[in-house]
Amino acid sequence: MTEVKVEKLKEFNQEILERLVEIYMRGYEGMREYGGEGEGYAKRYLRWCWNKAKDGFFIAKLGDEIAGFIVCDNDWYSKYEGRTVGAIHEFVVDKRFQGHGIGHKLMEKCLDYLRKYNDRIELWVGEKNEGAMRFYEEHSFRKVGQSGIWVRMVKDVHDKG
């Protein structure tokens, strides 16, 4: 596979939004209940992500093509923690490219970024999304609770200085 590069998303235009929606829709194929009700939802949600966490919106590129992305928010008020923590709002790799280590590269970038600002990271994952939960456990996230169909996972991080 061509070399994967992870970089910060610099601008959020219509063409990029459409590519991100495509990755998102394809990524959640077979898990519709966790990916919203369709493209309209995906567009609104990804715009919300961009507005909330521009600085931590990372993409993986294979040549010129965006292959996946992760949205890392260093200023998320968690009502479960009662304080501000880091959060991963969204994380998807194009179905065609899953299982080749792109997710791990995106996660490393995200952790390096968030540990500069936060000592804890929170995320929510669908209760039947075994693959993603296994992935997060490999990165030392642990399950700490559940609300409806969503499982809350957290990881403690430390700035390397």
Residues that bind ligand ACO (CB under 6 A): 27-28, 88, 90-93, 98-104, 123, 125, 129, 131-132, 134-135, 138
DSSP-assigned letter for residue 55: G
Query: Residue 74 to residues 11, 52, 99, 109, 117: CA-CA distances in angstroms?
Result: 19, 10, 27, 13, 6
End-to-end Cα distance, the chain: 34
**The two three-digit tokens of residue 120, written as one number:** 């804890």
Q: Classify burial at 15, counting beta carbons within 10 Å of its beta carbon; exposed 0-12, middle 13-18, buried 19 or more.
A: exposed
Q: Measured from the CB atom, is 85 or 123 closer to ligand ACO?
A: 123
Q: Measured from the CB atom, is 54 or 100 closer to ligand ACO?
A: 100
Q: Measured from the CB atom, is 78 or 98 closer to ligand ACO?
A: 98
To ligand ACO, the closest distance from the beta carbon of 141 in angstroms equals 10
To ligand ACO, the closest distance from the beta carbon of 95 in angstroms equals 7
| Distance from C-alpha of 144 to C-alpha of 153, rounded to nearest angstrom | 6
To ligand ACO, the closest distance from the beta carbon of 15 in angstroms equals 21
To ligand ACO, the closest distance from the beta carbon of 154 in angstroms equals 12
Q: Measured from the CB atom, is 123 or 157 closer to ligand ACO?
A: 123
